[in-house]
Amino acid sequence: MNPEELMQKIKEIISIVEEIPETYRQKTYEILLENSLEKDLLSEVPNLPTEVKEIDVSQKSKFVIPIDVRALFQQQNIPEEVISKLFYTEGNAIRPAYTIKTTKKAVAQVQLTLLVSLENALLGGKFEFSMETVRQRCNEHRVYDKVNFKTYFKYKSKLFKSLADEEHVELSPDGKAELAEVILEITK
């Protein structure tokens, strides 16, 4: 729409609005202008489909396991089917479905830490986690030990490459081996 056409539309809308009571003029003007502009913009969009096609919702897109996760599972002789025991997956979405069975807070924190890193790897990232995310998961599972939270990480430091960056703590090879043991224990 060129500027002259726009001015003509505005003048038409103003003439219509002047016919109604004062209290309704501002809102009416806004609505009419918005609708008019929207209609004109849609008419200018090329190749806009005129009919809506039905989407078959029965066909869920299959979750694709990233190659790093597949490699770890193959190295540790873990069948890929265990992912469905640990997580609900649909398309690119993933949600935890596991239950932490231990009541020992230190053990539960380590298990949650490793499972959060697996979840991040499944989402296409690395085998890493944020300490804040682990803290939240510990709270959700009622195994958060406020006093010893960071101590548990230091005690198990061999499982991690470095604890310097609390937002991006990556698993070491020992951590990945421990993750494999946790996976097998939880999915028994």
Percent with pLDDT over 70 in the chain: 88
What's the token pair of residue 72?
Answer: 């770890």
Residue of 86 and 40 predicted with greater confidence: 86
The whole-number pLDDT of residue 1 equals 64
Under the banding of pLDDT at 50, 70 and 90, the label for residue 158 is very high
**Whether the predicted pLDDT of 159 surpasses 50:** yes
- Count H helices and E strands in the chain, helices first: 8, 4
Domain positions in the chain are: 3-44, 67-186
How confident is the model over 38-74, as pLDDT tens digits? 777 666 655 545 554 454 544 556 778 889 999 999 9
Residue of 92 and 176 predicted with greater confidence: 176
Nearest to 131 by CA among 105, 155, 152: 152
**Whether the predicted pLDDT of 9 surpasses 90:** no
Nearest to 175 by CA among 150, 152, 156, 155: 156
Tell me what the pLDDT averaged over the chain comes to.
84
**Architecture of the domain delimited by 67-186:** Orthogonal Bundle (1.10)
The whole-number pLDDT of residue 128 equals 93
What's the token pair of residue 15?
Answer: 């003439």
The whole-number pLDDT of residue 57 equals 47
